């Protein structure tokens, strides 16, 4: 079956522009996570969606970051007024309601802010 997909795979933007990153989770996975991974570092939790419950936004670094999810499907991470420090790989993961500990990751979107 299809895994988690993310688009675009690469995004280069200019400082101050807004960007949208997309994540398509595995069908049937109600939990969806966004992480940020800076070069040579571990994953930094950003936001978590579980079904129709209110998302856990505790990891978002600033109010320039926001995310939406329609039901149990696609999610979009939006970064407004991008800064150079936003350059990183943004990873999305999903998991089943029975095993939220096992996360299946997408390939990531590499964001470069010039």
Partner 1 sequence: EDQVTQSPEALRLQEGESSSLNCSYTVSGLRGLFWYRQDPGKGPEFLFTLYSAGEEKEKERLKATLTKKESFLHITAPKPEDSATYLCAVQAPGSGYSSASKIIFGSGTRLSIRP
Contact set with partner 1 (CB under 8 A) = 4, 31, 33, 35, 40-45, 48, 50, 53, 56, 58-59, 91-93, 100-108
Of 15 and 57, CB closest to partner 1: 57
Encode burial over 36-46: b for 16+ CB neighbours within 10 A, e otherwise: beeeeeeeeeb
Query: Smallest Cα–Cα separation from 22: which of 69, 66, 75, 84?
Result: 75
Of 16 and 51, CB closest to partner 1: 51
Of 14 and 101, CB closest to partner 1: 101
Q: How far is the CB of 95 from partner 1 (least distance, A)?
A: 9
| CA distance linking residue 100 with residue 6, whole number of Å | 20
Residues in the chain: 114
Q: How far is the CB of 16 from partner 1 (least distance, A)?
A: 27
CB 57 within 8 Å of CB 75: no
Of 19 and 91, CB closest to partner 1: 91
């Amino acid at each position: 079956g299809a895994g988690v997909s993310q688009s675009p795979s690469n995004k280069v933007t200019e400082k101050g522009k807004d960007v949208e990153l997309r994540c398509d989770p595995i069908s049937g996975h109600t939990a969806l996570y966004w992480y940020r991974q800076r070069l040579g570092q571990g994953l930094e939790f950003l936001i978590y969606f579980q079904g129709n419950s209110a998302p856990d936004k505790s990891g978002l670094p600033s109010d320039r970051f926001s995310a939406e999810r329609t039901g149990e499907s696609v999610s979009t991470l939006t970064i407004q007024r991008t800064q150079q420090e936003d350059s990183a790989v943004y990873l999305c993961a999903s998991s089943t309601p029975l095993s939220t500990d096992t996360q299946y990751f997408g390939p990531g979107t590499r964001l470069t802010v010039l």
